[in-house]
């Protein structure tokens, strides 16, 4: 069986380092591993509109922003197909049929949808489109016969929902769709990187994000203001590592070789943590270490972004061609789906023959 990746992001803002460690970095590794036959990366504008219906300009402006984020992280358009969800109308058609396979109560139980409804204060005025987006996400995944969906932990309920739809479809109709598997980051700190203020969620409105497009100065400022241990007041005080943002980020970004390069007094992150816990290690020192590590990771991304920003026509063309390629693949799947559902009346001569013999007297 072919190994196919599909994943994507809603274009509602610049991507930040949480997206990077949680999924972008992994995508680039998977892309370069050569283990996958096809890789699709989708800019989920239609999904973004499910809770931004009144803000089309925001979605429009973030298409290019997210495309630049992808390319600057090392997604290579020669190896991965980057496309825009709304330009593949076959996805809507699939969703319409999948809707028959999902109950309202099943959607109501989806933990991600539940918490997102709360977060957005929808209360009783939930847009139907938003409520049903797990179904549309199942279309995104199955349209490309994806076997692997690299995502953050928050997306697991979506993959679960997709699997259920696939099983139901294959059982009722014909074996047509592929059951996908989620692929989570293997580093626990990368599952959900907190904001610089220590809050669980990074969000623009909280002003606690480090963006991939941030300048060197912005990154420094963000790290220097990071939440650490509020009881670690003097350098000599014992400090707490758990819940300390700097250490969470170090868990996500630090590699053994960084010590030799930037902090030769220590051999490992554990040794650094032990010293902090005992007392005698100041916040500024660990923050400066983190700045060096993050700069090492972010600087090449910035440089690549600059190159692409100077060549927006190329990015535009890449998105257009990617969307065309994706559409062709989704159209094939839709054909299979319609055949399995017996609504392929004009695809072959079968329907005509069947009806002729039925009505022939
Ligand atoms: N829900 C994802 C997010 O909020 C975006 C997305 C849409 C997606 N369709 C998908 C992710 C299909 C993986 C597979 O980031």
Q: How confident is the model at residue 186 (pLDDT cuts 50, 70, 90)?
A: confident
Average pLDDT, the chain: 94
Spatial distance between the Cα atoms of 308 and 283, rounded to a whole number of angstroms = 37
Burial class (CB within 10 angstroms; exposed 0-12, middle 13-18, buried 19+) of 134: buried
Spatial distance between the Cα atoms of 286 and 284, rounded to a whole number of angstroms = 6
Q: Which two tokens stand for residue 310?
A: 């100077």
Q: Is the per-residue pLDDT at 55 higher than 90?
A: yes
- Closest-CA residue to 106 (of 167, 149, 49): 167
Q: Which two tokens stand for residue 221?
A: 């400022």
Q: Which residue has better confidence, 125 or 342?
A: 342
Q: Is the per-residue pLDDT at 145 higher than 90?
A: yes
Cite the beta strand spans of 181-313 per DSSP E: 181-183
Spatial distance between the Cα atoms of 283 and 286, rounded to a whole number of angstroms = 5
Q: Tell me the CA–centroid distance for residue 17 and ligand 1, in Å.
A: 17
Instruction: Return the residue matching tokens 């055949």.
Output: 339
Q: Is the per-residue pLDDT at 108 higher than 80?
A: yes
Q: Is 143 in the pocket of ligand 1 (CB under 6 A)?
A: no
Q: Tell me the CA–centroid distance for residue 250 and ligand 1, in Å.
A: 27
Q: Is the per-residue pLDDT at 63 higher than 90?
A: yes
Model pLDDT, residue 121: 80
Closest C-alpha residue for ligand 1 atom 8: 8
Q: Which atom of ligand 1 is nearest to the CA of 44?
A: 7
Q: Is the per-residue pLDDT at 333 higher than 90?
A: yes
**Minimum mean pLDDT range among 114-118, 179-183, 319-323, 334-338:** 114-118
Q: Tell me the CA–centroid distance for residue 37 and ligand 1, in Å.
A: 20
Does residue 169 contact residue 177 with C-beta atoms inside 8 Å?
A: yes
Q: Tell me the CA–centroid distance for residue 158 and ligand 1, in Å.
A: 8
Model pLDDT, residue 131: 93
Q: Is 244 in the pocket of ligand 1 (CB under 6 A)?
A: no
With vertex at residue 201, the alpha carbon angle to CA 199 and CA 207, rounded to the nearest 5 degrees, is: 75
For 250-277, what is the mean pLDDT? Answer: 95
Helical pair 269-278 and 283-309, crossing angle rounded to 10 deg:
140
- Cα-Cα-Cα-Cα dihedral sign, residues 132, 136, 142, 148: negative
């Amino acid at each position: 069986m072919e190994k196919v990746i599909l994943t994507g992001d809603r274009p509602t803002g610049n991507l930040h380092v949480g997206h990077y460690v949680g999924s972008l970095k992994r995508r680039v590794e998977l892309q370069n591993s050569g283990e996958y036959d096809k890789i699709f990366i989708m800019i989920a504008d239609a999904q973004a509109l499910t809770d931004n219906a009144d803000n089309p300009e925001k979605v429009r402006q973030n298409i290019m922003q997210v495309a630049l984020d992808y390319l600057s992280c090392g997604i290579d358009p020669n190896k991965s197909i980057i496309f825009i969800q709304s330009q593949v109308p076959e996805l809507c058609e699939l969703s319409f049929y999948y809707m028959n396979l999902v109950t309202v109560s099943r959607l109501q139980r989806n933990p991600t949808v539940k918490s997102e409804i709360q977060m957005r204060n929808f209360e009783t005025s939930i847009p139907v489109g938003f409520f049903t987006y797990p179904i549309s996400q199942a279309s995104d995944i199955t349209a490309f016969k994806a076997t692997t969906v690299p995502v953050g932990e928050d997306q697991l309920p979506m993959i679960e929902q997709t699997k259920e739809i696939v099983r139901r479809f294959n059982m009722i109709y014909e074996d047509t769709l592929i059951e996908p598997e989620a692929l989570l980051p293997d580093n626990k700190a990368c599952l959900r990187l907190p904001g610089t203020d220590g809050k669980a969620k990074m969000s623009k409105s909280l002003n606690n994000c480090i963006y991939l497009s941030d300048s060197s100065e912005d990154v420094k400022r963000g790290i220097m203001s990071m939440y650490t241990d509020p009881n670690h007041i003097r350098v000599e005080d014992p400090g707490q590592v758990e819940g300390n943002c700097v250490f969470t980020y170090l868990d996500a970004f630090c590699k053994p070789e960084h010590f030799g390069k930037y902090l030769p007094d220590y051999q490992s992150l554990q040794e650094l943590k032990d010293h902090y816990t005992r007392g005698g290690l100041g916040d500024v020192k660990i923050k400066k270490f983190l700045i060096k590590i993050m700069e090492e990771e972010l600087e090449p991304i910035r440089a690549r972004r600059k190159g692409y920003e100077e060549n927006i026509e190329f990015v535009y063309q890449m998105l257009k061609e990617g969307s065309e390629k994706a559409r062709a693949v989704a159209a094939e799947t839709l054909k299979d789906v319609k055949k399995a559902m017996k609504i392929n009346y004009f695809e072959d001569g079968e329907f005509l023959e069947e009806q002729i013999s039925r009505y022939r007297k």
